[in-house]
């Protein structure tokens, strides 16, 4: 492990909460695809499977920020455990109803309940921020967590689909639920690194989404999420048209691998200048990388194009987390990070739905127009909101820039 990452884990407790976060985040990439695989195997109803997956995503988008807001106010342990128990109960209900061929409305009610699952990525990043706020190590920590996210998305779907198809249909979602329970209860048992709650700072303060800079980030990431959702669906359809549907999982894994490699390298670098410019450059790079997908004619070229496209994802996400810390009060940091995840989830649902419609109407190659258009929308929103991101933020507490300014004043 390169020295900046090795130094990152010198802080007491950092290895423990990071490991717990990895385990608890596996369901993020396993549950949705696992439910789709389970339902399609048990009933053959792909429409129902997709609708249930979308219900889980939209429910998480609605409930996730509220759970994180309670975490900022009352602490991770007091909120995460009951929220996780609710999500686990809903998951159990979904699996039992599907197994015993219960009514569809029960399936949808349980799928909505799974949306109470907490955003473990935001929880772990909040712990890193509490440890390294105002230091260069925080950039390395955010980079490491982006790599962990991509590792989950490389191996999670393969594990979930593989278990559900080779063992029994419910195996994938069941293992995802076990990962969630283990990760959350392991994380919340580690009290020493838990960020301090801010109950008083929330009175009358409203949602973190009231911050103009966060609004720009969330709006942009709705379009970015549409890129991800569309790419997943269209790639599966494209591989199917080529007669190698099973190869789609490998091609999509390379997409995540490109982001993983870029994130690891990005964490070793130190940058001068404003992060807003790096963020906008990343959004532009993501949009431009969608154009070659319109031109590919076979799976090997598609794999190369997606790997290259993935190189811009993690650096953009890492910079986004730094901007959230700059534009959101410290007392609402977890909620702010979750709002970006919410924007992504909404975008994924929209992108996958629109891409499916385009594929049915014009074929898989035409479907790659959806991520290309989504990328253009993301760039447009980024440019329109750039001034909001560039405005100096006062009274936030805890950003790297503010830390430096305080140190300079102290020295003077």
Report the residue count for the chain. Answer: 412
Neighbouring CB atoms inside 10 A of 223's CB total 27
More confidently predicted of 288 and 215:
288
Res 94: pLDDT: 93
Q: Which residues contact 94 (CB under 8 A, 6 or more apart)?
A: 35, 52, 107, 110, 111, 114, 173
Q: Is 234 helix (H, G, I), strand (E, B) or coil?
A: helix
pLDDT in tens, 19-74: 998 999 888 878 877 887 788 778 777 667 777 877 888 888 788 888 888 888 88
Structure tokens at 397: 């507490």
* Interval 278-318: pLDDT, tens: 889 999 999 999 999 998 888 899 999 999 999 998 889 88
| pLDDT for residue 241 | 81
pLDDT at 355: 81
CATH 1.20.1250.20 positions along the chain are 13-191, 206-407
Q: What share of the chain is helix, strand, coil (3-state, %, to 5)?
A: 80, 0, 20
pLDDT tens digits for 173-213?
Answer: 899 999 999 999 999 999 888 888 876 654 445 666 677 77
Q: Residue 408 — pLDDT band, cuts 50, 70, 90?
A: very low
Share of the chain above pLDDT 90, in %: 22
The CATH code for residues 206-407 is: 1.20.1250.20
Start-to-end CA distance of the chain, whole Å, equals: 38
| CA max distance for the chain | 72
pTM metric for this prediction: 0.74
Contact 254, 299 (CB under 8 A): no
Kindly state the tokens that stand for 164.
Answer: 């559900």
Q: What pLDDT band is residue 229 in, cutting at 50, 70 and 90?
A: confident
pLDDT at 2: 52
Cα(343)–Cα(335) distance, integer angstroms:
12
CATH 2.60.120.620 at 13-191, yes or no: no
* Distance of alpha carbon 364 from alpha carbon 235, whole angstroms: 8
Residue 132 has pLDDT above 80, yes or no: yes
């Amino acid at each position: 492990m390169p020295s900046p990452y090795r130094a990152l884990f010198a802080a007491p407790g950092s290895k423990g909460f990071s490991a717990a976060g990895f385990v608890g985040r596996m369901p993020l990439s396993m549950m949705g695809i696992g439910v789709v695989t389970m339902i399609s195997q048990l009933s053959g109803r792909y429409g129902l499977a997709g609708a249930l997956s979308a219900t889980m995503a939209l429910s998480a988008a609605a409930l996730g920020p509220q759970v994180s807001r309670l975490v900022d106010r009352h602490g991770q342990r007091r909120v995460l455990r009951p929220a996780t128990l609710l999500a686990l109960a809903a998951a159990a209900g979904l699996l039992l109803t599907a197994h015993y061929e219960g009514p569809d409305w029960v399936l949808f009610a349980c799928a909505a309940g799974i949306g109470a699952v907490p955003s473990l990525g935001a929880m772990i990043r909040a712990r890193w921020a509490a440890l390294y706020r105002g230091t260069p190590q925080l950039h390395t920590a955010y980079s490491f967590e982006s790599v962990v996210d991509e590792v989950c998305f490389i191996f999670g779907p393969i594990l979930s689909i593989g278990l559900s198809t080779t063992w029994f249909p419910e195996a994938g979602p069941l293992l995802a639920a076990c990962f969630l329970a283990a990760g959350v209860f392991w994380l919340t048992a580690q009290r020493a690194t838990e960020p301090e709650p801010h109950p008083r700072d929330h009175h009358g303060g409203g949602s973190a989404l009231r911050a103009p800079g966060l609004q720009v980030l969330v709006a942009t990431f709705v379009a970015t999420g549409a890129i991800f959702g569309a790419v997943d669906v269209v790639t599966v359809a494209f591989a199917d048209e080529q007669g190698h549907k099973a190869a789609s999982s490998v091609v999509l894994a390379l997409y995540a691998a490109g982001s993983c490699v870029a994130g690891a390298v990005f964490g070793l670098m130190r940058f001068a200048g404003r992060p807003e410019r790096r963020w906008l450059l990343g959004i532009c790079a993501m949009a431009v990388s969608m154009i070659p997908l319109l031109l590919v004619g076979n799976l090997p070229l598609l794999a190369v194009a997606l790997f290259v496209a993935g190189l811009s994802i993690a650096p953009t996400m890492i910079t986004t987390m730094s901007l959230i810390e700059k534009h959101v009060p410290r007392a609402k940091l977890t909620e702010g990070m979750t709002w970006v995840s919410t924007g992504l989830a909404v975008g994924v649902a929209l992108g996958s739905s629109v891409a499916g419609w385009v594929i049915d109407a014009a074929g898989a190659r035409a479907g790659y127009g959806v991520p290309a258009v989504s990328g253009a929308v993301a760039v447009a929103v980024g440019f329109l909101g750039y001034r909001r991101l560039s405005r100096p933020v006062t009274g936030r507490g805890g950003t790297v820039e503010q830390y430096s300014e305080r140190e300079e004043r102290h020295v003077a």
